[in-house]
Amino acid sequence: MAKHGLSGGFRGLCGSLCARPIALSLALAGSATAWAQDSAATPAGTDLQAGRLPVPAPPPGTQLPAVEPIIGDDRFNAAIPSLDVADDPELDRPLESIEEFGRAVAARQAGARPQEDRPLPAADPARIGEAPVDDAGLNEPLPPIERFQVEPARFAEKAGDEKKAEIAYAVEVNGLDVPDAETGSDLRRKFNDLSALREGKGKAASAAMVTARLNADSALLQRILAAQGWYEAHVRTHIERAEEAGRQRLTAVLDVTPGKRFTFGTITVRADPTVPPDMVRDNLALHVGEPVVAERVQGAEAQVAVALPQNGYPFARVGQRDILLDRDTGLGDYTLPVTVGPRARFGGIATQGDMAFDARHVGVLARFRRGELYDSRRVDDLRQAMVATGLFSSVAVEPQRTDEPAGDGTEYVTVMVGQKKGPQRTIAATAGYGTGQGLRLEGTWTHRNFFPPEGALIAHGVAGTQEQGAGLTFRRSNAGRRDRTFELAAEALHSDYQAYNAYTGRLAMRMRRDSTPIWQKKLTYAVGAQLIASGEEDFDFSLGRRQRRTFFIAGLSGQVGIDRSDSLLDPTTGFRATLLVEPEGALENGFAPYVRARLDASGYYPVNDSLVFAGRIRFGTIQGAARNDIAPSRRFYAGGGGSVRGFGFQELGTLDPQGKPAGGRSLSEAAAEVRYRFGNYGIVAFADIGQSYESTMPRFSGLRTGLGIGGRFYTNFGPLRLDVATPLNRRPGEARVAVYVSIGQAF
């Protein structure tokens, strides 16, 4: 029965062949050593340079016979040529160059003697010293007869013939239609993706180039077929010639004979017992009778390598497979050795290197506790959490054996965290523009570890046509618990809008759990408190004129959110909902308590990979105080890029006698978008509707609508957004067109 192995089968053959040169070299070395020893024993008077071999002295008392010389000295001297220049003038001629000597040798080997009166051609500096017969190609094996192509030489007759000599060719692949239609289609697709002939797009500089590509594609087809289980496939190639419109056209033909497709006959796993039993075999997704497909084998082995560390075996290793193929039956015997290693539980955490924080804070980031069964997914999660802090240039998290028993046949492992601290400071800037709000620039300077561990100090500033300000924020990330953030902020802000003009100072504290670019959380929350002092100018309806008033506001805030969408900046499926409640009290000619509440919800429905329908609603209410007792900056407004597009910022709602927005105690908005993406670009059609009201509850009357179209440029951090909208039933004073530029989708 003829069998051959795919790995490890050539070791014995190589060993027997490779041993002979070694033995030969040792024998030669031994001979040389013996000769050297004999030479060392030669008497000092021996003249090796005179041409006489060293002869050992005869034994004492031995009489040697007289030996006559074979050639006498007179006869020998007469045979030596004369070295007198007068007798032979050639002895005084300068030696020829190496390259001239090489050409003369080549000419004699070709059967033509160089003529004395013919000048030698000029030497090629690039080939000085190169022997013409020293050609490595002479040692290469001849190609198989089915690949041998004879092409007549083509010579350009004049300049520009190289471009005219370009030939066209077609590609024909026969015999690749295997019984499995899906597999045959996959084979053709892989061949077309990697084919040198296909890459040439049917054009070549010469027929020799077509032949080279044809030979490369023949080897490619054999590799593709072998990867799918056809280990005995044969590919025969030839070129067919035809004349079309006076020009030569070639057809490169590949005739494929797949042969027998090998399947698994037996599958054997060599591994120590595991808990639960047969863990390795259960995760090795290979079955007897299925074809021996390389991708399937590699994927199954990778699954074993992943599953074992996820189930308590951190030191498991998958060995080198062995597949023994039987040519007669078409079966393959598959054997996989696996080193399972000890079953382990999490022990302690240790850290080393250039550290940004200690092992105690690493334990805050970890989602595992001592005594839990080892799971590599928890280790990977810890690595990602440390990367997300932005404090490291590199992080390594690996298990280390302790040999400390943990019961149930397990042992504790230490999680060793290697740190290399990275840059701690960053500078960032954002820019945006909106009709009615104008240009807005914001910059931040951040030291992310000013108060270790993870205590950041942030200075930020805002400069815009209608908003200017600065602030300082202390932020503690992972404050005593993973993903929990504590913030203290102090800021001063000047706002100059149509609705009001305000100079505001604010102190705020907040504890929150938010989504991040790495972990988009399904449930988020935030609680906080704030103190606000604001001097604001607006229209006082009780006095019938504009005046500046000072408000002192103290309030609490609570927010909860549910996020089932697939992306923070570019959602295409799922939904989101956020509820914000802010109990506040304003002190200005008396104390006025009230509650602000707002609900936001959005949903996304993908029609296909390119088309998405998106919708949004928003409702707001203020309960407990008259509008005039509420600071203008704390009222509800509608209109603008984040509200109802097509209108200026805060433009909708009740107007004062001067025609400026007065704000309201309730709000209702809705929006719908159709998003179409092609490559890195996209186009969006949208309709927004909304209004703010003086009443405490939305009345859904007098709604204003804006229609528009937008463009998107998709980047690796989110889409860049440009929206252009116009209001329906435009009123005097309202702009015909509103433009909005920002990062991320509108909702």
Q: What is the mean pLDDT of the chain?
A: 83
- In this prediction, residue 159 carries a pLDDT of 46
Threshold 0.85, pTM exceeds: no
| Buried/exposed code over 435-465 (b: 16+ C-beta within 10 A; e: otherwise) | bbbbebbbeeebebbeeebbbbbbebebebe
The more confident residue out of 337 and 538 is: 337
The band of 58, judged by pLDDT with boundaries at 50, 70 and 90, is: low
Q: Topology of domain 425-743, per CATH?
A: Porin (2.40.160)
Q: What is the CATH T-level fold of the domain 165-257, as seen in this structure?
A: Ubiquitin-like (UB roll) (3.10.20)
Long-range contact list for 192-196, CB < 8 A, 24+ apart? 194/220, 194/224, 195/171, 195/220, 196/220
More confident residue, 377 or 641: 377
pLDDT reading at 438 higher than 60 = yes
Tens of pLDDT along 389-426? 989 999 999 999 999 999 999 999 999 999 999 999 99
Intrachain domains 263-339 and 343-421 with the same fold: yes
**What's the pLDDT band for 729 if we cut at 50, 70, 90?**
confident
Asked whether the predicted pLDDT for residue 8 surpasses 50, the reply is no
Q: Which residue has the higher pLDDT, 17 or 636?
A: 636
Which residues sit opposite 704 in a β-bridge? Answer: 690
Say what the pLDDT of residue 210 is. Answer: 92
Answer with the residue of higher pLDDT: 228 or 129: 228
Does 16 have pLDDT greater than 80? no
- The whole-number pLDDT of residue 436 equals 66
Q: Strand, helix or coil at 525?
A: strand
176's tokens: 């690749």
pLDDT band at 136 (very low <50, low <70, confident <90, very high): low
pLDDT at 138: 59
What pLDDT is recorded for position 56? Answer: 56
| 22: confidence class by pLDDT, cuts 50, 70, 90 | very low
On the question of pLDDT at 565 being above 90, the answer is yes
Quick check: 508 pLDDT over 50?
yes
pLDDT, residue 732, reads: 84
Return the pLDDT at 186: 85
Please name the CATH architecture into which domain 263-339 falls.
Answer: Roll (3.10)
**If you average pLDDT over residues 538-552, what whole number do you get?**
84
Only one residue has tokens 């929990």, namely 484
Q: List strands edge to edge, sheet with 392-407.
A: 343-354, 410-421, 392-407
Higher pLDDT: 483 or 517? It is 483
Q: So what's the pLDDT on residue 633?
A: 92
In Å, the largest CA–CA distance within the chain is 153
Top-confidence residue, 141 or 300 = 300
The helix-helix angle for 294-310 and 376-388 (nearest 10°) equals 80
Please state which of the ranges 122-126, 295-299, 609-613 shows the lowest mean pLDDT. 122-126
In tens, the pLDDT along 381-391 reads 999 999 989 89
Give me the mean pLDDT over the 150-164 stretch: 48
Pairing of the two strands 331-339 and 322-326: antiparallel
For residue 476, pLDDT over 70 is answered with yes
Read off φ and ψ for residue 618, nearest 5 degrees: -150, 135
pLDDT at 587 over 90: no
370 pLDDT higher than 50: yes
What are the residue boundaries of the structural domains of the chain, listed by start?
Answer: 165-257, 263-339, 343-421, 425-743
343-421 CATH, one of 2.115.10.20, 3.10.20.310, 3.30.460.80, 3.65.10.10: 3.10.20.310
Q: Of 164-178, 398-412, 525-539, where does mean pLDDT reach its minimum?
A: 164-178
Q: How much is the pLDDT for 71? A: 75
Lowest-confidence pick of 99-113, 223-237, 681-695: 99-113
Check residue 10 and give its pLDDT.
30
| Per-residue pLDDT at 542 | 75
Name the band, by pLDDT with cuts 50, 70 and 90, for residue 4. very low
